[in-house]
Amino acid sequence: MSAVRTLAFRRFLHEVGPVDAVGVEERVAKYGTRSIKRQAKVFGLKLAASMVDLTTLEGKDTPGKVAALCAKALRPDDRDDGGMSCPPVAAVCVYPSMVAAARRALGPRSPVRIASVATAFPSGQAPLATRLAEVRAAVGAGADEIDMVINRGAFLSGEFTRVGDEISAVRDACGQAALKVILETSELETYDAIRAASFIALRRLRPGDFIKTSTGKTSSNATLGNNQVMLDAIRDHYLASGVAIGMKPAGGIRTAKQALTFLIAVKETLGDAWLTNTRYRFGASSLLNDLLRQLEKERTGAYQAPYRFSEATESY
Amino acid sequence: MPSAPARSVRRRRTPTAPELIFGNLWEFDPSPETADPKLKAQYDLLIDGRFVPARRGARFTSINPANEKALAEVALADESDVADAYAAAARAFPRWSRLPGSERGKYLFRLARLLQDRAREFAVAETLDGGKPIRESRDFDVPMAAAHFFYHAGWADKLTYAFPGARHVQPLGVVGQIIPWNFPLLMLAWKLAPALATGNTVVLKPAETTSLTALKFAEILQEAELPPGVVNIVTGAGATGAAVVAHPQAAKIAFTGSTEVGRHIMRATAGTGKRLTLELGGKAANILFDDAPLDQAIEGVINGIFFNQGHVCCAGSRLLVQEGIADEVVARLTLRLRSLRVGDPLDKNTDVGAINSGEQLARIKRLVAAGVREGATLYQPPCALPRKGFYFPPTLFTGVQQSHRIAREEIFGPVLSILTFRTVDEAIEKANNTAYGLSAGVWTDKGSRILKLSTELKAGVVWANTYNKFDPASPFGGYKESGFGREGGRHGLADYVTLS
């Protein structure tokens, strides 16, 4: 199998081009040296908050926990009267069984969208029919967005067409719902593989869909490096086809500083048109309160204690 | 009024084709580095451990190229001051050279640590005086300068191990050193550290547009209690440099600068018995093959030419790109250029700062005009340059031919000439078809090709899938009109000793 895999991979890599790991790391290190102050910082912090997919993905999730999450998503800053200090987040992200609860909590016409992981998240190791049924169930229960996982087993054994066909099947099952394709970068291991997987997904997606780094369930999650490789792929695909796909790094982004650095990568790679929550998201939960904390610091000049901000999530 | 060259925007795609917008939706607020550079209004010469004015009392003004404002008055040394400096260095030599290596090493360690202690202050001073972005002086120049002192401090007591087979490693005596304006503090470190580690004493002349960090370093020499006369610093322009070269007491001249001045120095030292090392100009080829990792190669090409506004002797000023990907590469380069930030060097977000002097700016404009005249196509991204100060936008030339002046002469500015090639042999031939031979870059995914080119390219340094990487342990220097002698590593030490 490995010979087949190597050949298929090499052929595909030749088509989309390789990635130099040292060069990528060097490039992204420069984003960290950008210095964002005053108005630019406030703008960046609010933008980041508006891009958060506030997430809870645990076996112990309950409708009550999801309701608390939804309330936080609608009004991140509990002392905020008119929604001036912090906008609502982009979406809540839950398991399919919690979608109905989220819909009840948010109401039918909410500014906050409901994203549901599906397709036997996080492993994806279920028959395709089962995965598709899960997608349909989540959409039926009211999900606006579906976060699917790719079939890493198929990818690593060189069955790229199968990986792509499964994405197409899930896309069709989504109907009107937007699709986010999780590559699970830590299981692909190399930047070359991440670039290849990005293109497999990009070529199957519709405008308004996303590619996403990780499930948050493995040892390493979103990094500036894999974010950059995926942004580069999105740019190449857009310039070649005109189809604009969004990007969602997920897991491991816990601080406002990190989020701003990711946004600088977006600004300098894809430009202004991607600085919106219809094209860029953060899969995160504890990030939100750090953004609020930094916004409050910009407003008052002093850092507040963590307990001053309402807690409705746990780390992700 | 000299008119700016006409802008021609390369339109590769039709207007309906997808475009990326690098606009002002998220404009960064100014973020100036605020550390105090602790500059004095007046600087004197460092001779025999003391600051003394020039004998004739002459001074010149050092300005900030970013806004053309005066920074300080600097003493202008003439022959008599240079003679004083040599006399002091000669008096200091016997004791300094007989000091145990471990003791000399202690001084060098001390210099390195003191420089690190005052890193921010030196970074700001370097940026004010030379115009380079604070990001570079902070992250590259100052740390690298300290690294050179640390590295050579380690060699001071191990010199016999540096040269296996040699029984005696002897210093040369008094060394005259002349350094350029592109990396003022770093070049000072490249020169002083090996000379001091091997037991020589020094007369150093900084470039006239960038004397301030050397004079600030003189304060560190005093703070470190380096014995008087071991390092003497004389400031001034060409005449001062000529006096440093001509002085009979110089056992060696070490020069970094232009090939033109290098020729003068070579003539002046011929037949005098003075040893000589020259690190001169370059016209490096950055060779981009069609199998290269493109995004990283683009980043490397950008870094290779726009680092320090292209004021780099090893700048990758010629891009040789394989014909099949030429359009793609040019499109990506123009795209990348639009997110480069040009402006106030003190702003932490500035990528390309100010040109070092009005004179250099005029030279860049002259050569760019020649490029347009000779038929190459110019691209400059839309960018607002500050009204005061010396600035030049990042510039690409496509359709450059091997015979164009912009492909042959060193521009020493943010100007990239793009040429194409078809085969590996053609790339090698074009890369070597230059009077210079300082550095080259190779971008390919194929390891065997890297090995082949590293031996076929006549350049002192060949970088593979990276560019502008330096390390104190790695020797640096050129072929042909890029000079001779090496700096850094054991090879660099060898140029400051006699072996027996």
Between CA B316 and CA B418 the distance in angstroms is 11
pLDDT in tens, B1-10: 344 444 444 4
- Check: CB of residue B67 under 8 Å from CB of residue B355: no
Name the pLDDT band for B378 (thresholds 50, 70, 90).
Answer: very high
Q: Which of B5-19, B196-210, B262-276 has the lowest mean pLDDT?
A: B5-19
| Closest C-alpha among B319, B241, B275, B186 to residue B494 | B275
What is the set of domains in chain A, with CATH numbers? 2-308 (3.20.20.70)
Greatest distance between any 2 Cα atoms in chain A: 62
Closest Cα to residue A145, out of A198, A182, A186?
A: A182
Q: State the Cα–Cα distance between residues B445 and A23, nearest whole angstrom.
A: 12
pLDDT of res. A34: 97
Local confidence band at B15 (pLDDT 50, 70, 90 cut-offs): low
Work out the average pLDDT over B17-35. 94
Specify the pLDDT at position B56: 97
Q: What percentage of chain B exceeds 90 in pLDDT?
A: 96
Residues of A in contact with B301 (CB under 8 A): none
| The two structure tokens encoding residue B90 | 């000669």
Helix B238-246 vs helix B79-98: angle between axes, to the nearest 10 degrees?
Answer: 50
C-alpha span between A91 and A61 (Å, rounded): 17
pTM: 0.94
pLDDT tens profile B75-102: 999 999 999 999 999 999 999 999 999 9
Give catalytic residue positions of A: 147, 212, 248
- Please state the rounded mean pLDDT for residues A225-229: 98
Separation between Cα atoms, residue B174 and residue A53, nearest integer Å? 68
pLDDT confidence bin for B470, thresholds 50/70/90: very high
Nearest to A116 by CA among A247, A283, A280, A276: A283
Q: What domains can you pick out in chain B, each with its CATH number?
A: 42-280+479-499 (3.40.605.10), 285-464 (3.40.309.10)
Q: What is the ipTM of this complex?
A: 0.92
Q: Do residues B220 and B113 lie in contact, with contact meaning Cβ atoms separated by under 8 Å?
A: no
Residue of A16, A31, A35, A47 to mutate for B, most B C-beta atoms under 10 A: A35
Q: What is the pLDDT at residue A85?
A: 79
| pLDDT attached to residue B9 | 45
| pLDDT (mean) for B242-250 | 98
Q: Which residues of B touch A34 (CB under 8 A)?
A: 28, 348-349
Give the pLDDT confidence of B96-109 residue by residue, as tens digits: 999 999 999 999 99
Q: Which residues contact A198 (CB under 8 A, 6 or more apart)?
A: A183, A211, A229, A230, A233, A234
pLDDT the model gives residue A5:
66
Q: Which residues pair with B474 in a beta bridge?
A: none
pLDDT of residue B287: 98
Whether pLDDT at B17 is above 90: no
B144/B189 Cα distance (integer angstroms) = 9
Number of residues assigned to chain B: 500
**pLDDT of B496 higher than 80:** yes
Return the minimum-mean-pLDDT range out of A307-311, B430-434, B468-472. A307-311
**Rounded distance, CA A285 to CA A250, Å?**
10
Question: Both tokens of residue A124?
Answer: 């994806």
For residues B85 and B75, is the Cβ–Cβ distance under 8 A?
A: no
Q: Is A315 helix (H, G, I), strand (E, B) or coil?
A: coil
| Residue B124 Cα distances to A29, B63, B134, B138, angstroms | 22, 14, 7, 8
Q: What does the alpha-carbon distance between residue B303 and residue B325 come to, in Å, rounded to a whole number?
A: 20
Measured torsion, CA atoms of residues B259, B260, B261, B263, in degrees rounded to the nearest 10: 80
Q: How many CB atoms lie within 10 A of CB B61?
A: 9
Q: Nearest-CA distance from B38 to chain A in Å?
A: 23
The 10 Å CB-count burial string (b at 16+, else e) for B419-450 is bbbeebeebbebbbebebbbbbbbbbbeeebb
Q: Which has the higher per-residue pLDDT, A160 or B13?
A: A160
pLDDT band, residue A287 (cuts 50/70/90): very high
Percent of chain A with pLDDT over 90: 86
Strand duo B50-52 + B45-47: pairing: antiparallel
Give the pLDDT of residue A316: 47
Q: What mean pLDDT value characterizes chain B?
A: 95
CA A117 → CA A55, A214, A217, A248, A300, distances in Å? 10, 12, 12, 13, 38
Instruction: Show residues of chain B in contact with A270, CB under 8 Å.
Output: 20
By three-state DSSP, how is residue A17 classified?
A: coil
Q: Which pLDDT band holds residue B11 (cuts at 50, 70, 90)?
A: very low
Q: Which residues of B touch A (CB under 8 A)?
A: 17-18, 20-31, 135, 139, 291-297, 299-300, 339, 348-349, 445, 465-466
Q: List CB contacts (< 8 A) between B22 and chain A.
A: 268, 271-272
Element (H, E) at B142: helix B142-155
* Structure-block tokens of residue A18: 């390789």
Q: What is the dihedral of CA B111, B112, B118, B120, to 10 degrees?
A: 150
B32 to chain A nearest CA, in Å?
A: 9
pLDDT in tens, B259-298: 999 999 999 999 999 999 999 999 999 999 999 999 999 9
* Burial class of residue B27, CB neighbours in 10 A (0-12, 13-18, 19+): exposed
State whether A18 and B291 contact (CB < 8 Å): yes
Q: Quick check: A135 and A173 in contact, CB under 8 A?
A: yes
Q: Specify the amino acid at residue B421.
A: F
> Rounded to a whole number, what is the distance in Å from the CA of B353 to chain A's nearest CA?
15
B293–A39 CB contact, under 8 Å: no
What is the mean predicted confidence (pLDDT) over B175-193? 98
Positions of B marked active-site: 279, 313
Buried b / exposed e across B94-133, counting CB within 10 Å, b at 16+?
eebbebebeebbbbbbbbbbbbbebbbbbbbbbbbbbbbb
Q: Is B129 left (phi over 0), alpha (psi -120 to 50) or beta?
A: alpha
On the question of pLDDT at A83 being above 70, the answer is: no
Q: Which residues pair with A145 in a beta bridge?
A: A115, A178
- What residue of B is the nearest CA neighbor of A265? B339
To which residue do tokens 């003004």 refer? B61
Closest residue to B21, CB basis, from A27, A43, A271:
A271
Tokens of A27: 């490039």
B321-333 CB burial, b ≥16 within 10 A, e <16: bbeebbebbbebb
Which among A22, A238, A241 is the nearest to B466, CB-wise?
Answer: A22
How far is B112 from B122, CA to CA, in rounded Å? 13
C-alpha separations of B131 from B43, B137, B356, B500 in Å: 20, 10, 6, 45
Give residue A1's pLDDT.
Answer: 47
Calpha distance B92→B228 (Å, rounded):
7
Per-residue model confidence as pLDDT tens digits over B384-429? 899 999 999 999 999 999 999 999 999 999 999 999 999 999 999 9
B408-B411-B416 Cα angle (round to 5): 80
Lowest mean pLDDT among A80-94, B161-175, B439-453: A80-94
**Angle ∠(A269,A274,A275) on CA atoms, nearest 5:** 105
Q: What was the pLDDT predicted at B5?
A: 44
A150/A184 Cα distance (integer angstroms): 8
B2 backbone dihedrals φ, ψ, rounded to 5°: -70, 125
The bridge status of strand B174-178 relative to strand B201-205 is parallel
